[in-house]
């Protein structure tokens, strides 16, 4: 009896294990399907019907047994593509799986729109977060911590819009990960954000284990950093080590401890502003700087704070200007590189005026002007702009490096002109390998500038084409096009035709050439040569087309790649006739003699 019970128990447990994991995966899959269908509907609403159809087709391939996916695809095909046949194909499957679905043909316009509308009650962020967290939990279970951490980071995008329930799960997973990696600050942050009462029952046990340790840790942390001196020491240490992200985190954790101490809170705000500037979060830095503006007029704030705030605000403004200029600088540089010199210079002149108006040194603009002039090959002007820079205020290292680059670029350009002439000659002589080696060496140089790239890549592309490297030729032609003002249609068409011809033929198309032929015979003889039509030479059947007549002592020109039928005009061979006659006469003599 015991044995039977044991066997039954084993069978039950194994069936339970076998059934559980697919169910869990099935759940994740269903969620994913739901999210993707919703995404397709959103695409349709944004007038991106074709993309919605593509997405749904992929979904139907992955979930062929989903009635909803098949149905939505049929409706989309009907609405977007007016494809009745496609609509019927998918509707048939959907109807088989769920007979309650009505054919899109029977539905009114309003009903169709209703099907493709996005329900406002849906919470995509929740579903997305749920799917991501399932994956994170799986990797945590397998102890693939790095993978889990990277997935967890991605899940963060959905947190702001997610409900409290999923946010809680997110913070719990964060706490587990940071606990493993030993990041105290981040772990405390997650711990503080968790609402234990909203956690599901199966997670509460995990939480309780972590809670034992982290509640003590948080208490210790609070006790320690309620002390201003220790908090300041920690801030100094993080600033010294340039760990500005940790500094931001630390300030956000200790900020609530100093609600009643406005003086220390002001100092923390200034540190926070500095950290934001250093990590490049100019948007939030500007907001904070504006919110601290009142300090400048307040008499309660110490003078040192005011000076520090003015300094930091200047930095924020400068960074903001740089960001704005950086975007416009790209436009200006692009214009100048494409030959619109005056338009590009107009941008730079505007930057200079802006800098002047804001009383900011124009050195950085001069440096950029010098750099761009080097890139377009105006080396003298590049040097002129470098001279305008105030060397005492600007980085000497950068100036020296740019001076050196201008010198090298000038030398390279001389070499380029010299070698390109040689390469043209080599290409004409069909010495492609040597030409290729020289070109690759030219391309490898960092000084190959915009104006030179077009012709360098074009010639290299045509050489690769001759070598039968069609994809490489295409890559180079694309690069040539990228750095030229026009399209490279002729080159691209040439590559395409050669590629299509050579595909599975393993050869390149070449024309025939004329060569000389001598057909020597024992004595001078006329002969006729027929050219045979290539296409009609199938199965060895020669179809004579035209003929050339020549003498065996004179050469004749024949075109290679062709087939010819050569027929010498020889006299008829009468030897056998004479021999036969002789044979008969001989025997007749013999008979007569008898």
User: Which of 500, 545, 553, 554 touches other proteins by CB under 8 A?
Assistant: 500
Nearest to 474 by CA among 498, 450, 452: 498
Residue 516 within binding range of other proteins, rule CB under 8 A: yes
Place of tokens 């944004």: 46
- Alpha carbon 318 to its chain centroid, in Å, reads 32
Residue 560 within binding range of other proteins, rule CB under 8 A: yes
Distance CA 150, CA 145 (A): 9
- Residues 6 or more apart whose CB falls under 8 angstroms from that of 339 comprise 485
- By beta-carbon proximity to other proteins, the closer residue of 2 and 509 is 509
Tell me which H or E stretch contains 372: helix 363-375
Residue 309 within binding range of other proteins, rule CB under 8 A: no
- Alpha carbon 111 to its chain centroid, in Å, reads 40
Site for other proteins in 60-119 (CB under 8 A): 61
User: Which of 255, 341, 394, 519 touches other proteins by CB under 8 A?
Assistant: 519
Say if residues 235 and 271 touch (Cβ distance below 8 Å). Answer: yes
Least Å from the CB of residue 331 to other proteins:
22
Pairing state between β 544-551 and 526-532:
antiparallel
- By beta-carbon proximity to other proteins, the closer residue of 5 and 538 is 538
Number of residues counted as binding other proteins (CB under 8 A): 79
Distance CA 185, CA 254 (A): 10
Q: Which long-range contacts (CB under 8 A, 24 or more apart) does 87-94 make?
A: 90/60, 93/64, 93/67, 94/67, 94/68, 94/70
Residue 512 within binding range of other proteins, rule CB under 8 A: yes
- Residues 6 or more apart whose CB falls under 8 angstroms from that of 85 comprise none
Residue 142 within binding range of other proteins, rule CB under 8 A: no
Burial of 105 (0-12, 13-18, 19+ CB in 10 A): exposed
Site for other proteins in 456-485 (CB under 8 A): 460, 469-476, 479
Residue 294 within binding range of other proteins, rule CB under 8 A: no
Distance CA 110, CA 126 (A): 29
- By beta-carbon proximity to other proteins, the closer residue of 28 and 492 is 492
User: Which of 504, 524, 546, 572 touches other proteins by CB under 8 A?
Assistant: 504
Least Å from the CB of residue 215 to other proteins:
36
- By beta-carbon proximity to other proteins, the closer residue of 21 and 573 is 573
Residue 585 within binding range of other proteins, rule CB under 8 A: yes
**Number of Cβ atoms within 10 Å of the Cβ of 217:** 16
User: Which of 440, 553, 554, 569 touches other proteins by CB under 8 A?
Assistant: 440
Least Å from the CB of residue 35 to other proteins:
19
Say if residues 265 and 228 touch (Cβ distance below 8 Å). Answer: no
User: Which of 201, 510, 524, 572 touches other proteins by CB under 8 A?
Assistant: 510
Least Å from the CB of residue 386 to other proteins:
25
Least Å from the CB of residue 468 to other proteins:
8
- In this structure, what DSSP letter does residue 105 have? G
Structure tokens at 436: 């290729």
Residue 540 within binding range of other proteins, rule CB under 8 A: yes
Piece of the chain touching other proteins by CB under 8 A; list 99-107, 356-364, 399-407, 493-501:
493-501
Residue 520 within binding range of other proteins, rule CB under 8 A: yes
User: Which of 206, 306, 443, 548 touches other proteins by CB under 8 A?
Assistant: 443
User: Which of 496, 528, 550, 551 touches other proteins by CB under 8 A?
Assistant: 496
Piece of the chain touching other proteins by CB under 8 A; list 29-37, 133-141, 414-422, 437-445:
437-445
Piece of the chain touching other proteins by CB under 8 A; list 15-23, 159-167, 380-388, 517-525:
517-525
Q: Is 377 left (phi over 0), alpha (psi -120 to 50) or beta?
A: left
Say if residues 377 and 399 touch (Cβ distance below 8 Å). Answer: no
């Amino acid at each position: 009896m015991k044995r039977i019970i044991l066997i039954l128990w084993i069978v039950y447990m194994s069936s339970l294990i076998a059934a559980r994991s697919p169910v869990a995966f099935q759940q994740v899959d269903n969620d994913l399907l739901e999210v993707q269908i919703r995404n397709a509907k959103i695409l349709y609403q944004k007038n991106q019907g074709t993309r919605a159809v593509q997405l749904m087709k992929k979904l139907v391939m992955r979930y062929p047994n989903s009635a909803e996916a098949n149905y939505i695809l049929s409706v989309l095909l009907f609405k977007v593509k007016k494809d009745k046949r496609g609509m019927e194909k998918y509707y048939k499957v959907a109807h088989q799986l769920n007979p309650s679905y009505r054919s899109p043909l029977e539905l009114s316009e309003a009903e169709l729109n209703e099907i493709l509308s996005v329900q406002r009650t849906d919470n995509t962020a929740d579903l997305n977060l749920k799917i991501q967290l399932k994956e994170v939990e799986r990797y945590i279970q397998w102890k693939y911590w790095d993978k889990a951490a990277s997935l967890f980071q991605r899940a963060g995008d959905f947190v702001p819009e997610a409900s409290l329930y999923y946010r809680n799960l997110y913070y719990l997973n964060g706490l587990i990960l940071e606990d493993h990696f030993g990041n105290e600050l981040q772990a405390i942050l997650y711990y503080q954000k968790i609402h234990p009462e909203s956690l599901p029952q199966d997670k509460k046990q995990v939480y309780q284990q972590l809670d034992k340790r982290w509640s003590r840790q948080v208490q210790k942390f609070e006790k320690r950093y309620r002390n201003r001196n220790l908090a300041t020491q920690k801030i100094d240490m993080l600033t010294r080590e340039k760990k500005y992200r940790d500094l931001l985190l630390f300030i956000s954790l200790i900020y609530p401890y100093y609600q009643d101490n406005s003086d220390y809170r002001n100092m923390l705000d200034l540190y926070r502003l500095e950290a934001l500037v250093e990590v490049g979060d100019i948007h939030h830095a500007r907001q904070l700087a504006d919110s601290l503006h009142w300090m400048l007029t307040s008499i309660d704030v110490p003078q040192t704070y005011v000076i520090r705030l003015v300094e930091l605000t200047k930095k924020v403004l400068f960074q903001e200007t740089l960001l704005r200029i950086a975007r416009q600088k790209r436009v200006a540089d692009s214009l100048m590189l494409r030959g619109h010199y005056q338009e590009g210079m107009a941008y730079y002149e505007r930057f200079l005026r802006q800098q002047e108006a804001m009383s900011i040194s124009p050195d950085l603009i001069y440096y950029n002007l010098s750099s761009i002039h080097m890139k377009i090959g105006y080396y003298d002007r590049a040097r002129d702009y470098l001279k305008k820079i105030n060397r005492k205020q600007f980085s000497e290292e950068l100036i020296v490096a740019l001076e050196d680059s201008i010198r090298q670029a000038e030398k390279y350009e001389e070499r380029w002109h010299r070698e390109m002439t040689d390469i043209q000659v080599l290409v004409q002589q069909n010495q492609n390998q040597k030409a290729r080696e020289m070109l690759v060496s030219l391309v490898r140089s960092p000084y190959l500038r915009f104006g030179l790239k077009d012709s360098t890549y074009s010639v290299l592309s045509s050489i690769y084409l001759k070598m039968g490297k069609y994809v490489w030729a295409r890559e180079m032609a694309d690069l040539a096009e990228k750095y030229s003002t026009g399209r490279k249609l002729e080159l691209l068409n040439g590559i395409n035709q050669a590629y299509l011809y050579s595909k599975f033929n393993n050869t390149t198309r070449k024309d025939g050439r004329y060569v000389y032929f001598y057909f020597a015979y024992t004595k001078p003889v006329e002969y006729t040569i027929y050219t045979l039509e290539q296409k009609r030479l199938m199965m060895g059947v020669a179809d004579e087309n035209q003929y050339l007549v020549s003498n065996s002592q004179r050469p004749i020109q024949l075109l290679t790649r062709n087939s010819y039928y050569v027929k010498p005009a020889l006299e008829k061979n009468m030897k056998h006739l004479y021999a036969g006659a002789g044979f008969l006469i001989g025997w007749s003599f013999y008979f007569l003699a008898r």
